[in-house]
């Protein structure tokens, strides 16, 4: 139990950045089971708050605002920033400055644990014929992927230098269901995503860890055995969605780079989820 919790919950106060995004919205209510109080931040409206929630509209590139945002929190789930490829200047503010500001604030305020939403696009230029683990070389497939490499390196530095522990979640495709054949391999159900965050927050010692955020799908490009100490056991699978995509689209020979590399259409600088994938 946390020293800071008044009610016996595991945490006194947690911070969730990116709370209005797709995954932030999935996680929001569960955090209330784990902490007396949940501070939510995003650049856009956070809607109505429950009695245990505090809403903060904060742009993570604003250093002073982030410093205030982090004061008094025990751990951070950092989902904030831009989650697709975008112009460099936008990524610079949201993902590079934003993540730096957050770690600096964590250091100043003595926060000991961060769960960082990295992405499979850190390794998206590995071919689809490879199976990667936590030690696979980074091969970002986009500027967006490069900013997530930065987040992974920054968190490594803040662990080695200041002892702030981070679990970097290389999230696959976390949606209600796979949107294209590639996502049959990269699918992470919302339930498994929440379980992965739970493992990342509750495992006693994590140091600096890298884990692929993926469900128990029939085919995989990623192996998490090096981080089995996290205790993450996915319960869902993309199996049931296989019939949504005709087999000839999945198995045909092709030379399209979006099918040769794990990052899919990110390798082409086009957003994933388009109809021609």
C-alpha dihedral (184, 139, 136, 172), degrees to nearest 10? -30
Q: How far is the CB of 130 from ligand 15L (least distance, A)?
A: 16
The residues carrying an active-site annotation are 144
Using an 8 Å Cβ cutoff, are 234 and 168 in contact?
no
Closest by CA position to 115, among listed 35, 46, 208: 208
Output the six-digit token pair for 6. 């008044």
Cβ-proximal residues to 196 (8 Å cutoff; 6+ apart), any chain: 169, 188, 211, 213, 230, 232
Q: How far is the CB of 255 from ligand 15L (least distance, A)?
A: 21
CA distance 261 to 165: 31
**Which residues of the shown chain bind ligand 15L in the complex (CB under 6 A)?**
83-84, 119-121, 171, 173, 183, 186, 272
Output the six-digit token pair for 174. 């976390």
186 versus 200: smaller Cβ distance to ligand 15L: 186
74 versus 192: smaller Cβ distance to ligand 15L: 192
Using an 8 Å Cβ cutoff, are 167 and 116 in contact?
yes
CA distance 250 to 34: 40
Q: How far is the CB of 77 from ligand 15L (least distance, A)?
A: 15
202 versus 241: smaller Cβ distance to ligand 15L: 241
Using an 8 Å Cβ cutoff, are 238 and 187 in contact?
yes
């Amino acid at each position: 139990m946390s020293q800071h919790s008044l009610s016996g919950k595991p945490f006194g106060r947690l911070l969730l950045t990116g709370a209005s995004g797709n995954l932030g919205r999935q996680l929001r209510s569960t955090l209330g089971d784990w902490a007396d109080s949940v501070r939510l931040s995003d650049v856009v409206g956070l809607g109505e708050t429950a009695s245990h929630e505090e809403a903060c509209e904060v742009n993570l590139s604003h250093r002073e605002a982030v410093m205030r945002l982090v004061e008094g929190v025990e751990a951070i789930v950092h989902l904030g920033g831009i989650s697709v490829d975008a112009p460099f200047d936008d990524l610079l503010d949201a993902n590079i400055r934003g993540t730096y500001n957050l770690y600096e604030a964590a250091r100043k305020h003595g926060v000991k644990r961060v769960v960082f939403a990295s992405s499979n696009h850190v390794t998206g230029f590995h071919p689809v014929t490879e199976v990667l683990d936590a030690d696979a070389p980074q091969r970002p497939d986009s500027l967006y992927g490069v900013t997530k490499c930065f987040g992974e390196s920054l968190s490594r530095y803040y662990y080695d230098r200041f002892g702030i522990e981070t679990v970097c979640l290389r999230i696959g495709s976390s949606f209600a269901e796979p949107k294209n054949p590639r996502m049959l391999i990269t699918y992470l159900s919302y339930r498994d995503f929440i379980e992965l965050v739970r493992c990342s927050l509750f495992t006693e010692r994590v140091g600096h860890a890298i884990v692929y955020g993926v469900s128990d799908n029939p085919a995989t490009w990623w192996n998490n055995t090096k981080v089995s100490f996290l205790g993450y056991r996915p319960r869902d699978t993309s199996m049931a969605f296989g019939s949504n995509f005709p087999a000839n689209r999945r198995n045909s020979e092709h030379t399209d780079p979006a099918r040769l590399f794990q990052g899919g259409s990110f390798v082409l600088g086009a957003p994933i989820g388009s109809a021609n994938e």
